[in-house]
Copies of this chain bind each other. A is one copy, B any other.
Amino acid sequence: MDRAALAAFLSREFPQVAGDYAVEEVGRNRALLRLRVDDRHLRPGATVSGPAIFALADVAMYMAILAMIGPQALTVTTSCSIDFMRKPAAGRDLLAEARILKLGRVLVVGDVLVRAEGGADPVARAGLTYSIPPR
Q: Footprint of B on A, CB under 8 Å? A: 13-14, 16, 40, 43-45, 47, 49-51, 54-55, 58, 73-74, 76-87, 101-102, 106-107, 109, 111, 113, 121-122, 125, 127, 129
A111: which B residues are within 8 A, CB to CB?
111, 125, 127
Chain B residue, CB-CB nearest to A16 = B40
Chain B residue, CB-CB nearest to A82 = B80
Q: Known: A44-B73, A58-B50, A73-B44. Contact between A107 and B78, CB under 8 A?
A: yes
Q: Known: A78-B84, A107-B78, A129-B83. Contact between A73 and B50, CB under 8 A?
A: no
A74 to B74, alpha carbons, bound, how many Å? 29
**Could you list 24 examples of A-B contacts with CB < 8 Å?**
A13-B43, A13-B44, A44-B73, A45-B73, A47-B76, A50-B54, A50-B55, A50-B58, A54-B54, A54-B55, A78-B129, A79-B81, A79-B84, A80-B80, A81-B82, A81-B127, A83-B127, A85-B109, A86-B102, A101-B113, A101-B122, A101-B125, A109-B125, A125-B127
